[in-house]
Amino acid sequence: MTQPEDPNRVLIFDTTLRDGEQSPGISLNAHEKLEIAQQLARLGVDVIEAGFPITSPGDFDAVQEISRRVEGPVIAGLARTHVADIDAAWNAVKDAERPRIHTFISTSDIHIHHQLQTTRDDVKGQARAAVAHAKQYLDDVEFSPMDATRADVEFTGEVCQVAIDEGANTINIPDTVGYTMPHEFTEYLLRLYELVPKLKDVVLSVHCHDDLGLAVANSFAGLRAGARQVECAVNGIGERAGNASLEEIVMLLRTRQPDVGLATGVVTQELARTSRLVSRLTGYPVQPNKAVVGRNAFAHESGIHQDGVLKERTTYEIMDATTVGLAANSIVLGKHSGRHALQQALSELGFELSGQSLNTAFRRFKEIADKKKHVTALDLEALVTDELREEITGYQLEWFDVEASSRRPPHATVGIRMPDGEEVRGSFTGDGPVDAIFRAINAATGSEARLREFRVDAVTGGQDALGETSVVLEIAGVSGSGQGVSTDILEAAGRAYVRALSNATRRRGIMAEAEEALATEAEAIRTP
């Protein structure tokens, strides 16, 4: 990607599907990744880092599918400097409208000595070879000196120079362990500009982690120092404490544009929806007081604040909730609304459904509308996201019976459709109705899953609100998360559990495949 013509345009590089997906417990399948990538395209990000294709066949397939189906943003695949990584990244992104390979190697001595167990010269050589190899395939190549902020800036400059000489068009400076501070990061980047004058001919990017809660502040400092690409993730998810939060950096630039003078191409009205989708599919909740997209981000509790906002919104609000898509949506359907009204309402929300998927959505809508007076935009969004997941899960909850009473422990029986189509049953007497259902599902599927987290939220307010549940479970050390939506909490819980089980089972399969591939590779190296 060449530099944008407008020197004040900041490129948003979204890494929700790569760094974000590396968050503990997140296990998105290819279908869910595609759903997020399509929403990111609607949000108007410039680059989607869709995954790290060498790491597993599942990751490769997801990046390839996104490259083939998502239009608009550049699609990037991550690669270490190894030839096999770069080849895998290329094969995964080559069908994209605008593909990119992002290759990286550490420049800090801590990483070079302890992790890579090599020398600075070797790192320089690997960086040169990797960029040159990637350039044989495509023009758009990004290079990152990993752990740069703890590395010798002179040496990092030498490595960046080599990458630029070989044709890298973006140089990304990562604060890999979230260690730097804004003023220090500014100085580091300014020094890098002095050491590598050619840096001004390429896009300088920043990638900051949030270990000290400074990811957004450091990214902003990077932009003030001259960077024009920010790597960030929706809801700030990512390794350990996460990455810079996309919505925060975007709204910072928008809200303070008159003073800072920088702008992104993000359609901010899509921010809240993107945040909800990512939270639903990853199972990572958004804290209520989260800046920009938390449910209290525009709520006023104290009488003085409420009074002020009623008189004039700007007395206590620096942003308008409608700007980030958080204001109450006008769509409301009732129990007499027909298929066409539903299709239109969904289309307004960005879901184009027809045929079988519209029929299924309509059936679910009717079930809900029978129990709930008004079905709102938030309900429809939760329902459709839930339904879209249905197509790809391994196990399905067909039905359940729960006998609950205050005098006897609850007993549950469930019917589960197995991936091969067979229906199996299981029963369990548990500590509570939810526990009984979860263990009955284990009994039916013959799984030894252990529940790690269980959460219930209401999609909207009111007594008849849709319930949204989230489950994280573990099978033999492999975790999986799943979500479910229903007006009946037990049904929502059961749906979430079977999805988490399907995800964990699928992840175990992928990990076993990856281990097998590694063993074959090691065998091939041993065999002359």
Does position 247 bind ligand KIV by CB under 6 A? no
- Chain residue at closest Cβ approach to ligand KIV: 174
Give whichever of 116 and 456 is closer to Zn ion, judged by the CB atom: 116
CA distances from 386 to 156, 191, 277, 428 (A): 46, 49, 10, 26
Of residues 238 and 430, the one with the C-beta less far from Zn ion: 238
CB of 171 to ligand KIV, least distance (A): 11
For residue 188, the minimal CB distance to Zn ion (Å) is: 17
Q: Which of 19/457 has CB closer to Zn ion?
A: 19
CA atoms within 13 A on the CB side of 356: 3
Ramachandran angles phi, psi of 167, nearest 5°: 115, 10
Q: Which stretch binds Zn ion (CB under 5 A): 17-25, 134-142, 294-302, 493-501?
A: 17-25
Nearer to ligand KIV among residue 177 and residue 437 (C-beta): 177
Cβ(235)–Cβ(284) under 8 Å? yes
Rg (CA), the chain: 25
Edge-first strand order for the sheet with 411-417 is 396-403, 411-417, 423-429
Using rule CB under 6 A, residue 146 touches ligand KIV: yes
* Binding residue (CB under 6 A) for ligand KIV from 23, 176, 282, 329: 176
Q: Is 207 in the site for ligand KIV (CB under 6 A)?
A: yes
Does 142 interact with Zn ion (rule: CB under 5 A)?
no
Among 14, 19, 59, 270, binds ligand KIV (CB under 6 A): 19
Decide if residue 491 touches Zn ion (CB under 5 A).
Answer: no
Partner whose footprint covers residue 486, from Zn ion, ligand KIV, none (CB < 5 to 8 Å by kind): none
Q: Which of 19, 147, 248, 468 binds Zn ion (CB under 5 A)?
A: 19
Q: What's the helix, strand, coil split of the chain in %, to 5?
A: 50, 20, 30
268 within 8 A of 236, measured Cβ to Cβ = no
The verdict on 144 binding ligand KIV (CB under 6 A) reads yes
- 8 A C-beta contact, residue 174 and residue 189: no
Give residue for tokens 């949000």: 43
Closer by beta carbon to ligand KIV, 11 or else 414:
11
What is the footprint of ligand KIV within residues 68-127 (CB under 6 A)?
A: 104
Q: Rounded to the nearest whole angstrom, what is the least distance from the CB of residue 370 to ligand KIV in the complex?
A: 48
Whether residue 360 contacts residue 387, with contact meaning beta carbons closer than 8 Å, is answered with: yes
Whole-number minimum distance, CB 207 to ligand KIV, in Å? 5
Cα gap 220→213, rounded to integer Å: 13
In 3-state terms, what secondary structure has residue 212?
Answer: coil
| Residue 49 lies near Zn ion (rule: CB under 5 A) | no
Among 51, 157, 174, 426, binds ligand KIV (CB under 6 A): 174
Report residue 294: phi and psi, to 5°: -65, 150
- CA 312 to CA 328: how far, in whole Å? 19
Question: Which stretch of DSSP H or E encloses residue 14?
Answer: strand 11-14
Q: How far is the CB of 109 from Zn ion (least distance, A)?
A: 19
Determine the size of the site formed for Zn ion (CB under 5 A): 1
As measured in angstroms, the least distance from the Cβ of 146 to Zn ion is: 8
Torsion angle in degrees (nearest 10) through CA of 212, 217, 218, 219: 130
CB-nearer residue toward ligand KIV: 89 or 441: 89
Binding site for ligand KIV (CB under 6 A): 19, 104, 144, 146, 174, 176, 207, 209
